[in-house]
Amino acid sequence: MNLFRERGTRRRVTKLLAQIRPDVAAMPIHGGLRLEQELGLDSLAMAALAVRLHEELKVDLMALAERRQQIQTIDDLVKVVEELTNGA
């Protein structure tokens, strides 16, 4: 994985998280944060995030749904988005 691409993806994912949950912007963000337990994303917020990932990064919603069980943390989400977008 290209480090610069991953940083760009991480920045974009973090921005989208802050749009879905504005209180996230005030938190110290690190890759190990768990989306549901620590960031408080419920199923509706996760669905909204998936739609935003599709709109902003062209992530395939079905492919993202198939990988949902692999996504527990911000790092997991960035990795899956990178894989689904080929680092775009």
Look up the CATH architecture of domain 3-85. Orthogonal Bundle (1.10)
Residue 34: DSSP 8-state: B
Between CA 78 and CA 8 the distance in angstroms is 10
Domain ranges of the chain: 3-85
Q: Which position has the higher pLDDT, 5 or 88?
A: 5
pLDDT band at 7 (very low <50, low <70, confident <90, very high): confident
Question: What is the pLDDT at residue 5?
Answer: 62
Question: What is the pLDDT at residue 1?
Answer: 47
Between CA 32 and CA 58 the distance in angstroms is 24
Question: What is the pLDDT at residue 86?
Answer: 80
pTM for this prediction: 0.87
Q: Which two tokens stand for residue 22?
A: 């504005």
pLDDT, mean of residues 55-59: 94
Longest Cα separation, the chain: 31
User: How many residues can be counted in the chain?
Assistant: 88
Specify the amino acid at residue 9: T
Could you report the per-residue pLDDT of 11-50, keeping only the tens digit for each? 999 999 999 999 888 888 899 999 999 999 999 999 999 9
